[in-house]
Amino acid sequence: MAEVSVRAESKSEGIVIHDDWPGYSLDLFSYPAHYYGDLDCVIIPHGVIMDRTERLARNIMDDLGDHDIVVLCVLKGGYQFCADLVDRIKALSCNSDHTIPMRVHFIRLKSYLNDQSTEDLHILGAEDLSFLSGKGIVGTGKTMKTLLKHVESFRPKMIKIAGLLVKRVQLSPTCVPDYVGFEIPNRFVVGYALDYNEYFRDLNHICVISESGKKKYKI
């Protein structure tokens, strides 16, 4: 799962980025020139994302090794995290006593307009998930509550959620992923496949979008 919201008082097992963290200066990193002026800072560099993803893959291997699992990737924001996580699970499976027979299925959720999450949530590609019956599920994607309810109706053996980001907010369901990359402040972030109206998916680092960037790409 790319991004999840949790109550500010909830706890996750991810790396905590505190509210007063100013982020890294953009001058320290390479990023596409067409986004100059559209970002405030780098909040998580790409290399740190990769290292943390490998650790999550090891945790999943330790917990689910030898289980037959289906990785349910939620598009579009979760595709990069899912791809990198699956690659690292495959690599570990080839060099471990544990092995995970693994399939990957893709669905799409749409819930954001500009920088606001809406109540109008659409699930595409999840009409028939009957093949999940009796399987272990590792979900990676963006929005959990509605999706979990839908997936549970197909009676999988177990469901585990992997989230790259959990965002601290005051009013949010306390549904925390089983595997968390980073816990971040309630700021709108882009990059590493996370978008703002389909822009910024081509940005490797996770960055905070600037107010001018929001105005530039607002629809």
CA-to-CA distance for 192 and 170, rounded, in angstroms? 25
Nearest Cα to Cα of residue 44 among 179, 186, 207? 207
Q: What percent of the chain has pLDDT over 70?
A: 74
Beta strands in the chain, from DSSP E residues, in sequence order: 3-7, 15-16, 39-44, 69-75, 102-113, 116-124, 136-140, 158-169, 179-184, 189-190, 206-209
- Identify the pLDDT of residue 22: 94
For the stretch 39-61, pLDDT in tens is 999 999 999 999 999 999 999 98
- Identify the pLDDT of residue 116: 53
Q: Which residues make beta-bridge pairs with 110?
A: 122
Is 137 a member of any domain?
yes
Is 164 a member of any domain?
yes
DSSP string computed for 96-108: SS----EEEEEEE
Q: How confident is the model at residue 157 (pLDDT cuts 50, 70, 90)?
A: confident
For the chain, what is the domain count? 1
Mean of pLDDT values over 196-213: 96
For the stretch 5-44, pLDDT in tens is 444 444 457 899 999 999 999 999 999 999 999 999 999 9
**Bridge pairing between strands 206-209 and 69-75:** unpaired
**CATH number of the CATH domain containing 91:** 3.40.50.2020
Is 214 a member of any domain?
no
Q: Count Cβ atoms below 10 Å from residue 99 Cβ, excluding itself.
A: 14
Tokens of residue 165, six digits: 């980001």
- Residue 149 sits in which domain range? 46-186
Q: What is the pTM of this model?
A: 0.82
Is 6 a member of any domain?
no
Is 101 a member of any domain?
yes
- Identify the pLDDT of residue 137: 42
Is 76 a member of any domain?
yes
Is 196 a member of any domain?
no
Is 208 a member of any domain?
no
